[in-house]
Amino acid sequence: MDYKKSVVYEIYPKSFCDTKGTGVGDLKGITSKLDYLQNLGVDYLWLCPFFVSPQVDNGYDVEDYYSIDPRYGTMEDFEELARKAEKRGIGLMLDMVFNHTSDRHIWFRKALKGDPYYKNFYIFKKGKEGGGAPTNWQSRFGGSAWEYVPEFDEYYLHLYAMQQPDLNWENPDVRAEVEKVVRFWMEKGVKGFRFDVINQVSKKAYEDDPDGDGTPMFTDGPRIHEFLKELNEQSFGRDPEIITVGEMAATKMESCFRYANPEEHELTMVFSFHHMRADFAGDQKWVLAPVDFMGFKKIMFSWQTKMAEHGSWNALFLDNHDQPRIVSRFGSEDEYWKESAKMLGTLYQLLRGTPFIYQGEELGMTNGDFKELSDYRDVESINNFHILTEKGLSPSDALRILQKHSRDNARTPMQWSSEKHAGFSQGEPWMKVNPNYERINAQAELLDEDSVFHYYRQLIQLRKQYEVVSDGDVRPLGLEDERVFAFERSLGEESLVVICNFYGRDYTWKGELDLSQYQILLSNYPEHEILDNAVWLKPFEAVVLYRKGEQDE
């Protein structure tokens, strides 16, 4: 399948569909929704980790890469899912977490017992002379990235939770184990892989970071390209059908030129996150800050144009399991909920790259309705609540920040119907269902031709029907415009123009193109006012215009 024409749908199994009444989603639940997914038109399902795990980080702490966590089902369930998906032309993409394992993984348990072979699978270091952790690096989830082990008088590194010790990729035996895991799942017929925080596996030097939390010391490190090439050669690169995406935390674009260039034989494409900081204060996530639209636009366009110049490929997304819901973030939850959900979909689905839809985004699902700390499940959010209150913030102010930035916003159970628990489970869901499920749910949207769901179906079809969407060049339009995100895609004489009003107010947009030659392919409003190069946009309006190439006429 051509990855340029493909659309990936991300599933967070825990919150997708529960068939057993345990309150936790399962693999059979995913199988039961394959018709829905086929109807939507997606080509791949990225499944977040379902391997055996103590679930400290909802499965991103893997205890056994070869077995399915019984909470989610059995290997037979997985094989059935793969088979039935394939029948519908849908491939499975697995989420491989290789920067770290769970502290319950047998390798780490042996390491802690002092087995030298397995100790070298992880990163143990002596503390500083005079005491304290080996470096000043901070865990992504708050606090020091080092945990002291009194038996060894040493610390081990964990860039994430304490229960997620980092693997030592410098050790060739670790890399060989990782490659073996990938080959195992390839044999099960898996068609793609997503590699979790893969650009952090090569560490530069175990030294203090004078300016911050250590990020430059372990991001896009000195051997990362070598490691990726080896992984490619020893595993997925052996099957040209397989597509891969690397999650690139705090990455540099120059590194991504290589990660995602076909000639480098590393990965098919990359996720970068700089555009997701548009409502941070600089690098600070745990604060309240307005959306910096111009900053967002600049970053998006710079990744679009520069990756294209280097022949490298982007993964496109606005929602995922680590991000609050985009419609709550950049759109509207009330008056223009539907219009803004459609506009945001238009914006990223038609850029140059492969789009990733996150479960529920195609319904316009909004942020969770969390009132108190006990409503939260996410280790990052809970840790940061404590950090904020220890710094002197009142619990209610800290909760306000969590309400905006917590990853749990995206992890509320999928809203299938207006039945109890949104049709997600017969039992008590592991996380609070958003009470707006009576209004926002798949059942209702399937029946409504004007729904966000049907709009997403149309967006996906545009990528399949128009080569200019999958293969065209990209050119920003009106870079300085403070209200509108607009761009042109072109292929030969063929041209597609996408104009998105980012705000809930009317606005007249003027561009340099003569739009009288164009026809309307898609829009989130039934009527339009377009004259030559001007468009009268309604709140959150999105318009997709198309002009055929002369040779096709």
Q: Min. distance of Cβ 247 from ligand GLC in angstroms?
A: 6
With CB under 6 A as the contact rule, the residue among 57, 375, 481, 488 that binds ligand GLC is: 57
- Which two structure tokens, joined as six digits, stand for 538? 């309604």
Secondary structure letter of residue 89 according to DSSP: T
Name the active-site residue from 63, 196, 445, 488.
Answer: 196
Q: Which is nearer to ligand GLC, 60 or 424 (CB)?
A: 60
Q: Which is nearer to ligand GLC, 28 or 194 (CB)?
A: 194
C-alpha closest to that of 498 among 301, 363, 309, 308: 301
Total site size for ligand GLC, rule CB under 6 A: 9
- Which two structure tokens, joined as six digits, stand for 321? 């399991």
Range 496-535, binding ligand GLC (CB under 6 A): none
CB 252 within 8 A of CB 216: no
Gap between the Cα atoms of 49 and 193, Å rounded: 11
Range 379-408, binding ligand GLC (CB under 6 A): none
Report if residue 322 touches ligand GLC, rule: CB under 6 A: yes
Give the phi and the psi of residue 538 in degrees, each rounded to 5.
-90, 175
Query: For tokens 């940061």, what's the residue?
Result: 384
Instruction: Give the HSE-up count for residue 264: Cα atoms under 13 Å, Cβ half-sphere.
Output: 22
- Residue with smallest beta-carbon separation from ligand GLC: 60
CB 361 within 8 A of CB 316: no
With CB under 6 A as the contact rule, the residue among 9, 60, 107, 502 that binds ligand GLC is: 60
Report if residue 196 touches ligand GLC, rule: CB under 6 A: yes
Binding mask 79-98 for ligand GLC (x = CB under 6 A): ------------------x-
Q: Min. distance of Cβ 430 from ligand GLC in angstroms?
A: 16
Query: For tokens 């000639």, what's the residue?
Result: 263
- Which two structure tokens, joined as six digits, stand for 311? 């022949």
Give the phi and the psi of residue 68 in degrees, each rounded to 5.
-90, 135
Q: Min. distance of Cβ 200 from ligand GLC in angstroms?
A: 9
196 is catalytic: yes
Report if residue 197 touches ligand GLC, rule: CB under 6 A: yes
Q: Which is nearer to ligand GLC, 430 or 509 (CB)?
A: 430
480 is catalytic: no
Cα angle at 88 between 359 and 62, to 5 degrees? 50
Q: Which is nearer to ligand GLC, 277 or 321 (CB)?
A: 321
Name the active-site residue from 10, 166, 247, 481.
Answer: 247
What separation, in Å, do the N-terminal and C-terminal C-alpha atoms of the chain show? 29
Q: To which H or E segment does residue 184 belong?
A: helix 172-187
Report if residue 313 touches ligand GLC, rule: CB under 6 A: no
What does 245-284 look like in DSSP terms, one character per residue? EEE-TT--HHHHHHHT-GGG-S-SEEE--GGGGTTSBTTB
Q: Which is nearer to ligand GLC, 16 or 160 (CB)?
A: 160
Contact residues: ligand GLC, CB under 6 A: 57, 60, 97, 160, 196-197, 247, 321-322
Q: Which residues are catalytic?
A: 196, 247
